[in-house]
Structures are given as structure tokens and as C-alpha cells.
Amino acid sequence: MFKWFKKPGYSNVLQFPETNVIVPVIAPPEKEQEYYNIGVTSENRVTFKTGISTLTMNREGCKNLIEQLTVFMNQLEKENDE
């Protein structure tokens, strides 16, 4: 029964062998590592995220953190490119 639906063979057509197409595998681009993130919340606070920790501060807390970082920064030795 299925022979009825077959297409007739063509004797004057040259059959070429099938070719294998090699598709290169391209790795997806790596996500850049994010070391920290700073943002502002809807409650008028600043958030500082690093790793899995989040620090939320008001204006006074930001000033305090900047002062503490400045103290520790001044204790570091100067690098050659400064």
C-alpha cells in the first residue's frame, strides 16, 4: 500500500554522496566576576553588597565608613604607579 506514495526513481540524476558538516562548538562568554555592588534603596539608604553580605547605611553611616576606609588606606604602603 505504501508503495503507491513513493516517488518514481529518476535514472538520469546523479546522486552525490552525503557530506558531513562539522559545526564548531562555541563556548558561551563567561560572566564577568562582580566583586561588589553599590546602590540606593527606596528607603533613602545606600546598600553595599559584596559576596553574600549586604550593608545598608544612612548618610551618617556612609560618612563613617568613608572615614574608616581612609584611615586604613593611609596605613598602606604607596605603590609604584602612584
- Reported as a single tens digit per residue, the pLDDT across 20-79 is 888 888 888 888 888 899 999 999 999 999 988 999 999 999 999 999 999 999 998 887
Question: pLDDT at position 46, please?
Answer: 95
Question: pLDDT at position 17, please?
Answer: 78
State CA 80 to chain mean position distance.
32
Question: How many helices and strands in the chain, by DSSP H and E?
Answer: 1, 3
Evaluate if residue 82 carries a pLDDT over 60.
no
The model carries a pTM of 0.51
Question: pLDDT at position 80, please?
Answer: 72
Under 8 Å between Cβ of 47 and 55: yes
Name the grid cell of 30.
563567561
Backbone phi, psi, residue 69, to 5°: -65, -35
**What span, in angstroms and rounded, lies between the C-alpha atoms of 50 and 61?**
17
